[in-house]
Structure 1
């Protein structure tokens, strides 16, 4: 006999059916707000401004694929009672590599949220009768969002989002009615057309339309809604309900995306985008002069959409990172307290990003990087689905859509090599020799002495010299971006600190920092000091933590954040404000990713060597204790 899961309301048959139909709609609407607001006012409107309706075919591909993606996530969550992040941890390979990089992306995306709030402040400022600095509006909005989230109540979040959805739907229909949509041009936009000049734009749109890695957050909200209770008795029926709810949610996403694209396309020939000004804001000002009755509705709806995206995005990412830290990172802090600590950390990043400027640059770069990882996660979702019980797996159609969609995402990423090069892959290539030296070091007598705890002062000196030299190599093999050296110089001192303690890390940092300072430039001093700080951080982290890929990733990102967000502004007080902001924009992302990746690779080399040594010790013990003659027998021909 089939039973109703405990998380569904009871009552009469009609009432229960209505409740079931509406029960799963809440997480979908939260997802719709989050995905519509993340890049709709930036990537999609910019696409309309520059290319009209040309890329509607990209919209169709993105929405079909991401609908299937969300549907697969829902099936896993309802079937197992776990979030998709638990499933990703089951993927073969280095331990927790998937959730580690997702966590890094989620943290970096907080900088983009600072851009969202700046744009939202521009909108609201145009509607209020008094003059208030835009940054103040952005920070006040952030404060209100924190107050709404501080309790950690999913029910409160769902109620607030429902009100926002109603406002947005009315605003979208009203704004669309004010546009003169050229239906022939719209129809032509669904015909695929590839131009090498547009690969970066296509890739960004694939990540922006329907969002990317934030689709994984749907699992978090669905898990909160169901209380983590698996649906084992009537999963097919519940998935039919989820499918209809997802159609509603993705219908709203499609509507909002088309509105933003249409507004951008309608004013592509008459709007001049000023430097440092949001294109969405510029178009809105133009709307006031051309369609006065529609502009206030659009502007207020845009503010609500951006605020809703930040509200839901912070909540979902905080819940996801909280779960990842507790499950994969072994953090023992109570969930509610950890959730609030993450909120505070996210708010600090957003606060700093509000004053960085150029929000569209941040959003576009993070979106492009996330789309690469998103394609890989698409294949991972197929693997996870295949491990579900036979009756809970996806259909052949679902598998086909997921396989083709994930392949398209990877193909577009590989077509434009310059796109990948722009985000730190050159440093990854130059990191190869560094990793080869690490491979040799791990197998050396010096590393063995530190493993056994018998290292001498001479060993300490050699450790400092080796990793100080590697820090110099990291600077030497860096590359210039706007007269600033983008490098991986901090990896050497951090590893020296991990192996030999804070003193060893600091000393290796002094060697690498001295070389960086000798090269000169207005960022020479903060670059040199940061290398020493990184070495100390490595030593402190090794003494306080059991090192895991996730914790090393946090250490790498944290070391670069201290350098770029704190030391550069603090130690270059005489430098022009715009140049400091350029350094932050150009260096934070690639250096954080490469440093984190280098530290994780070091841990993998170390653990692989230990497993090899342990296996050799086991074989030796078996030979000596069980069959002393085994070794001589094996050596016989």
Structure 2
């Protein structure tokens, strides 16, 4: 009798691994795919865009960063909700809307992968070359970072990949938030930035801050990471939503921290950064002059963690999307739950790694950039609009279709990304 009284009743997940646990703490321990999205989506270019917004407008656009995170929560939640509610993938959903969606994505992902591969390797080479200036040339650091990412992704399954991404978010959190604390933020001014205002000349920066940070093709990969975690039925909807909210709260913390750095360190001194990833090297010089070489070195380590984690996330997540694209092209054969083992997954990892190395040596061909920009500018509107279409259709069980809040946020995202895409096309031409 005593032995029976001392037994602990198993949670639903212990009795049935296909069911989520009921306890709050147990659910928090499962958080993971959202962390992967957050770490992958926040790249060096995103941090620079936030820094520049802070350096030009102080805290005035802080509200835009908060709105941006709310919009991204809606997009990622919609993607994963479709996976869990229907048992289908985003690629299957897009194909059900017509063959045009399927081939648009196919052309886009091939172009995007080639250019992004070169961009990601170049971004990772920047801090490594700055940390070890006399060890290897710039192009070699880029190539090694791409190869290291490919080897890691090809040799490890999702669980190890997620653990690595949690490590990188820890490094990023310590460095970025620590830097925001170091520059001694003016909390009074920061609070005023939560009141929506659009200073003169800030319209595009405002839209970019809402739409750009943490928003890439990897948002469509979120549902695949949710499935890779083992969450496959509507029973996991609550856990997924917690996971997604944690992801974009973390993203919001990064954005706010970098805005603080821009406002306190650069705005008051009227220091201008270079656009693109190299802006972080400019910041490194400012940090070294003000705080010394130790802070500068720690910042470069955080910079490297940011860029390399994006390599890992894209090499894994977008390769899952490509593998599912090929699965659909071959008639939907094969187990969609084991895309990591497919030849298509391995092919796309290598596509991201080796052909783009040419860009490290030659620079980006103008014609390719035009094509990439044109296709890329329309991906986020495509994602937002197709999610609205899918999540309000009979493909989704009635109880999991979008309500007014989800539709409103997805509609806001679609309108925002259409404006941003038109601006991107105007810049290109």
TM bin, normalised by shorter chain, reads 0.7 to 0.9
**Whole-Å Cα distance in 1 between the matches of residues 411 and 19 of structure 2?**
39
Give the C-alpha shift of residue 301 in structure 1: 1.1
Contact 1:33–1:305 (8 Å) recurs in 2: yes
Residue 318 of structure 1 pairs with residue 319 of structure 2: yes
Unaligned runs of 5+ in 2: 1-10
User: Which whole-Å CA distance do the structure 2 matches of 1:337 and 1:141 have between them?
Assistant: 22
**Alignment of 1:36 onto 2:39:** no
Quickly say closer, same or farther: Cα 1:190–1:26, change in 2 above 3 A: same
Cα displacement (A) at 1:300 = 0.6
Contact 1:70 1:215 in 2 (8 A): yes
Distance 1:298 1:365 in 2: 34
Corresponding residue for 1:76?
Answer: 82
**3-state SS of paired residue (2:184):** coil
Give runs of aligned pairs for residues 505-544 of structure 1, distance below 5 A.
Answer: none
Q: Give the one of 149, 153, 171 matched to 1:149.
A: 153
Contact kept, 8 Å, 1:369 with 1:423, in 2: the verdict is: no
Structure 2 match to 1:527:
none
Larger Rg: 1
Tell me: CA distance 1:38–1:60, structure 2 relative to 1, closer, same or farther (3 Å): same
Match of 1:282 in 2: 282
> Among 160, 163, 167, which residue is 2:171 paired with?
167
User: Shift of residue 152 of structure 1?
Assistant: 5.6
Residues 1:180 and 2:184 are matched in the alignment: yes
Q: Give the corresponding residue for 1:259.
A: 257
SS in structure 1 of the partner of residue 190 of structure 2 = helix
Provide the secondary structure at the position in 2 that maps to 1:405.
helix
In the alignment, which residue of structure 2 is the partner of 1:297? 298
1: distance between equivalents of 2:105 and 2:428?
16
Deviation (angstroms), 1:220: 1.3
Q: Would the aligned equivalents of 2:81 and 2:223 in 1 still touch at CA under 8 Å?
A: no
The TM-score normalised by the length of structure 2 is 0.82
Aligned partners of 1:356, 1:281: CA distance in 2, in Å? 22
SS of alignment partner, residue 356 of structure 2: helix
From the superposition, tell whether residues 104 and 47 of structure 1 become closer, same or farther in structure 2 (CA, over 3 Å).
Answer: farther
Residue of structure 2 in register with 1:373 after alignment: 379
Contact 1:150 1:340 in 2 (8 A): yes
Q: Give the counterpart of 2:29 among 10, 13, 22.
A: 22
2:357 alignment partner in structure 1: 351
User: Residue 136 of structure 1 corresponds to which residue in structure 2?
Assistant: 140
The separation in 1 between residues aligned to 2:345 and 2:157, in whole angstroms, is: 11
Distance 1:319 1:202 in 2: 32
Deviation (angstroms), 1:10: 8.2
Query: CA RMSD, aligned part only?
Result: 3.5
- Corresponding position of 2:6: none
How far the C-alpha of 1:222 sits from its partner, in A, is 1.0
Distance 1:175 1:147 in 2: 32
2:397 maps to which residue? 389
Cα distance between partner residues in 1 of 2:208 and 2:25: 39
C-alpha displacement of 1:321: 0.9
C-alpha deviations, 1:443-487, integer Å up to 9, x for none?
xxxxxxxxxxxxxxxxxxxxxxxxxxxxxxxxxxxxxxxxxxxxx
User: What's the TM-score once normalised by structure 1's chain length?
Assistant: 0.57
1:408 aligns with 2:411: no
Contact 1:207 1:367 (8 Å CA) reproduced: no
Asked if 1 retains the 8 angstrom alpha-carbon contact of 2:86 and 2:397, the reply is: no
Query: Contact (CA 8 Å) 2:44, 2:277: kept in 1 or not?
Result: no
Higher relative contact order, structure no. (Cα contacts within 8 Å, ≥ 6 residues apart): 2
CA deviation map 1:569-619 (0-9, x unaligned): xxxxxxxxxxxxxxxxxxxxxxxxxxxxxxxxxxxxxxxxxxxxxxxxxxx
Query: Alpha carbons of 1:126 and 1:410: their partners in 2 closer, same or farther (altered >3 Å)?
Result: closer
Which ranges of structure 1 fall in alignment gaps of 5 or more residues? 425-637
Provide Cα deviations, 1:219-250, integer angstroms capped at 9, x if missing partner: 111121227x433xxx3xx3222222222111
1:8 aligns with 2:13: no
3-state DSSP of counterpart to 1:150: helix
Q: Which residue in the other structure is 2:129 paired with?
A: 125
CA drift at 1:167: 1.7
Partner of 2:4: none
Compared CA separation, residues 413 and 189, structure 1 to 2 (3 A):
farther
162-171 vs 110-119, greater mean Cα deviation: 110-119
Measure how far apart 1:341 and its partner are: 1.3
